[in-house]
Chains A and B, each alone.
Chain A
Amino acid sequence: MTQLALVIDLNVCVGCHACVTNCKEWNTSGEAGPMVDQNPYGKDPTGTFFNRVQTFEVGEFPNTETVHFPKSCLHCEDPPCVPVCPTGASYKRKEDGIVLVDYEKCIGCKYCSWACPYGARELDEQQKVMKKCTLCVDRIYDTTMTEEERRPACVRACPTSARLFGDIHDPHSSVSRAIRYAHGYQLMPEWGTNPANHYLPRRKTKLRIREDELERADNPLKIDSQLPKPGKAEPSLDDVTSW
Chain B
Amino acid sequence: MHPAFSVVFLTTLIGAGQGLFLALFTVESYAAFGLLPAQSSDFYALGSVIAVILLVLGLFASFFHLGRPERAWRSATQWRTSWLSREVIVLPAFMGMTFLYGVAHWTGFNPVIATLPSGAPINLTAVLGVIGTVLAFALYVCTGMIYACLRFLREWHTPLTVINYTLLGSASGFSLAAALAVTEAPGVMPFLTGWALIITVLGLISRSASLIRNARLKPKSSLQTAIGIKHPKIVQKTMGMMGGAFNTREFFHGQTRTMLRSIKWLFLLTTFVIPLGLLSVGLSAGTGSPGGLLALAFVVQYFGLLAERWFFFAQANHPQNLYYQSVA
The answer to whether the Cβ of A105 comes within 8 Å of any Cβ in the partner chain is: yes
Tell me if A34 is interfacial: C-beta within 8 Å of chain B.
Answer: no
Contact yes or no, A114 B233, CB < 8 A:
no
**A46 lies within 8 A of B245 (CB):** yes
Find chain A residues with CB under 8 A from B221 CB. Answer: 117, 188, 190-191
Which residues from chain B contact A71 at a C-beta distance below 8 Å? 323
Contacting residues of chain A (172-188) with chain B, CB-CB under 8 angstroms:
185-188
Pick the contact of B68 from A43, A84, A118, A129 — CB < 8 Å?
A129
User: B235–A57 contact, CB under 8 A?
Assistant: yes
User: Which residues from A are CB-within-8-Å of B251?
Assistant: 119
A43 to chain B, nearest CB (A): 8
CB-defined contacts of B244 to chain A, threshold 8 Å = 44, 46
Provided the pairs A54-B240, A108-B67, A122-B245 are in contact, do residues A113 and B250 lie with their beta carbons within 8 angstroms? yes
B233 touches A58 (CB 8 A): yes
Q: Which of chain A's residues have a CB closer than 8 A to the CB of B33?
A: none
Is there an interface contact between A86 and B75, defined as CB atoms closer than 8 Å?
yes
Overall SS of chain A's interface? loop
Find chain A residues with CB under 8 A from B318 CB: 114, 117, 119
Stretch among B148-156, B163-171, B303-311 lining the A interface: B148-156
Known: A49-B241, A87-B74, A113-B250. A56 touches B150 (CB 8 A): no
Residue of B nearest to A91 (CB): B78
Are B237 and A57 in touch, CB under 8 angstroms?
yes
Residues of B near A114 (CB, < 8 A) are 1, 150, 153, 250, 318
- Given A87-B71, A114-B318: A201 touches B225 (CB 8 Å cut-off): no
Query: Are A106's CB and B68's CB within 8 A?
Result: yes
The docked-state distance in angstroms from the alpha carbon of A159 to that of B85 is: 44
Binding site for A on B (CB under 8 A): 1, 65-69, 71-72, 74-78, 81-85, 88, 146, 149-153, 220-221, 223, 225-229, 231, 233-247, 250-251, 318-321, 323-324
